[in-house]
Structure 1
Amino acid sequence: MVTELVLDRVSVRFSLPGVTVAAVNDVSLRVRPGECLALVGESGCGKTVLAHALLGFLPGNAQTAGTATMTGEGPPLDLLAASDAVLARTVRGRRVGLIPQSPATHLTPVRTARAQLEEAVRVHHPAETSPRDHAHRVAARAGLTPDDLDRYPHELSGGMAQRVANALALVGDPWLLIADEPTTGLDRDLVDGLIGEFRRMVDEGRAVLLITHDLAAAQRVADRIAVMYAGRIVEIGPAGRVLDAPRHRYSRGLVDALPDRAFTPIPGQPPLLTDLPAGCAFAPRCDQSAPVCAERPPLTTERPPPAGDPAGAGEDPVRAADDHAFACHLPC
């Protein structure tokens, strides 16, 4: 069976006193081995919430809908429906690795990097006779020396803590690595090294889900790009097509804001996730908005609609996301 992760209409809501936060809304996409998919968008658009939903890291006031089906080892597994015990035993660190935001704060402060890495080796490779040697091999992949591993988290620079987090995520040899804002605060050389490691993983047949607001980094490493706005995927497709010929006007705004492009900021602010409009959430910031934008646009492609569905209203969102798809009534 082919290993892949398919998200079909995934939504996440948080219940707070007197209000509901619609953090993720009807997200559909497919993650395949041998590719890097970059999930980009402004801070607060739901990227990290989506990653946490896949690994069962949501708080108790969260409700999920849709499916996130992983195939490849044993029967298909819906990550959203799986118990915490199943996720801990078969998914986290084994089939899916995570590089969290602010990695230094996720390291145990009273244990050296070596102790934490060797413990991860013993958990994921119980038959390993030399956890120390295994830890050294994984550390080398992340650009660490044995001496680096003898430091405590407070003795690590931001870049070094990032490398330790990378090594911990690689210990279990996961087929999918979720990297959440991994380039934040890193200098150019460290970013180059990190991007090189991601490309090596992809070349080895693994998958990388890169979560970032750094469109320049996504441009360098991604095979496909998904643009997220107000909890919803508004455009997804091959990186070259999304960046060079974006169809959604928010995607166009992100591209035009790059320093090597127009360097023009997007006016206005994203909507509150507690008060999303019924139609296109980007309409209040869009200089081309029209009355039709009061209706929510579906994620569609420019392919001919299926037979018997001339309006294309029944297009499968996962199938659409495999192509170059966008959710805009008045595309660029």
Structure 2
Amino acid sequence: MSGVLLELDRLSVRFLLGRDAEVRAVTDATLHLRPGRVLALVGESGCGKSVLASALLGLLPGNAQVRGKALLHNGTEQEIELLSAPEPVLAGQVRGRLVGLVPQSAATHLTPVRTARSQLVEAIRALDGPAGADELAERVGLDPADLDRYPHELSGGMAQRVAVALALAGDPRVVLADEPTTGLDRPLVHRTVDLLADTATADRAVLLITHDLAAARRVATDIAVMYASRIVEAGPAAEVLTDPWHPYTAGLLGALPDGGFRPIPGHPPDLTELARIEQEWGCVFCQRCPDVPGFAPCTGEPELLDLGGRWIAAHPPC
């Protein structure tokens, strides 16, 4: 597809737990990430967002079953199908070079007995990065002198900036930030997402995975809302966050301070129970949905409908 850096088509991930048990972690995820854009994938913790990120980089455990497509366009006529790419391609061409990862809890991903500088220099050399360590430090708003500190000497914000610098070391076209603001106070959250948004230049883009809807609202140009393994709504952030079409999106916004602190009743379902819930109810959100009179089940499989550039997962009666 023209003008798309990363294209997901019905990506699904299942974890086999035994002969008759499985975790439905991601179900039929369809997304388009375009240059110059920040696509925020939001939803409650445990809905499958981080599993989706791991699937794109080939970092899933051995009991995972993956289907669908995830096409990475590298700026030439070539494209890489990430889900079927062999490990040498992922390790040699994708990770760090085409897709840079900002992991959860950045400080825990830094080697404790080495300075930040030594780790960043190593990444630059391994990835043939075009920028030096000091240049990258300044780019992410970090004093180059701080690179000579060990991880335990860095504040949470400093460690997060080092993680972003490491993700940028190979000059990737896509930055995949997986819950990059976990554990940070609000001013640091703002600085971190602003820094990530600055990397979405004319030929580069950011996939921001977060449960922090306020952070997503601050920087996202596009948004996709995930619930119990499924993307239930997607579209331009300005439209989705001001005029939500799916009741789950509306519920997330209602739980924010400016939405009145009105949490969604109930709890997300266990991902091991999704097959049973979908069979009995048709929709995994029905049991929490305010739009279902008397909590009557939906019928049929949910369908992701394209409505003029916005997408919504809908059942005929909902």
TM-score between both structures, scaled by the size of structure 2: 0.92
Mapped contact 2:299–2:317 kept (Cα < 8 A): no
Give the deviation of 1:288 after TM superposition. 1.9
Please point out which of 140, 143, 146 is paired with 2:144: 146
SS, match of residue 185 in structure 1: coil
| C-alpha distance in structure 1 between counterparts of 2:21 and 2:173, whole Å | 38
Is the aligned partner of 1:10 residue 2:15?
no
Counterpart of 2:71 in structure 1 is 69
Give the deviation of 1:195 after TM superposition. 2.5
Q: RMSD of the alignment, in Å?
A: 1.8
Give the paired residue count: 308
Mapped contact 1:64–1:80 kept (Cα < 8 A): yes
| C-alpha distance in structure 2 between counterparts of 1:189 and 1:205, whole Å | 28
Q: Give the partner amino acid of 1:9.
A: R
SS, match of residue 202 in structure 1: coil
Mapped contact 1:55–1:92 kept (Cα < 8 A): yes
Is the aligned partner of 1:88 residue 2:91?
yes
Deviations along 1:199-250, whole A, 9 cap, x unmatched? 3222443201000111001111000110000100000011111111111100
Counterpart of 1:328 in structure 2 is 314
Mapped contact 2:4–2:32 kept (Cα < 8 A): no
Counterpart of 1:36 in structure 2 is 38
Larger deviation: 199-208 or 107-116? 199-208
Q: Give the partner amino acid of 1:191.
A: V
Give the deviation of 1:2 after TM superposition. 4.7
Please point out which of 278, 282, 293 is paired with 2:298: 293
Mapped contact 2:11–2:67 kept (Cα < 8 A): yes
| C-alpha distance in structure 2 between counterparts of 1:73 and 1:107, whole Å | 34
| C-alpha distance in structure 1 between counterparts of 2:212 and 2:146, whole Å | 28
Give the deviation of 1:169 after TM superposition. 0.3
Mapped contact 1:249–1:331 kept (Cα < 8 A): no
Mapped contact 1:178–1:208 kept (Cα < 8 A): yes
Is the aligned partner of 1:137 residue 2:142?
no
* Deviation beyond 6 Å, 4+ runs, structure 1: none
Q: Give the partner amino acid of 1:116.
A: Q
Identical counterparts, % of pairs: 59
Larger deviation: 245-254 or 294-303? 294-303
Is the aligned partner of 1:110 residue 2:88?
no
Counterpart of 1:174 in structure 2 is 172
Counterpart of 2:21 in structure 1 is 19
Q: Give the partner amino acid of 2:86.
A: S
| C-alpha distance in structure 2 between counterparts of 1:203 and 1:54, whole Å | 21
TM-score between both structures, scaled by the size of structure 1: 0.88
Is the aligned partner of 1:97 residue 2:115?
no
Q: Give the partner amino acid of 2:106.
A: P
Give the deviation of 1:156 after TM superposition. 1.6
* Structure 1 unmatched runs, 5+: 304-322
| C-alpha distance in structure 1 between counterparts of 2:106 and 2:169, whole Å | 16
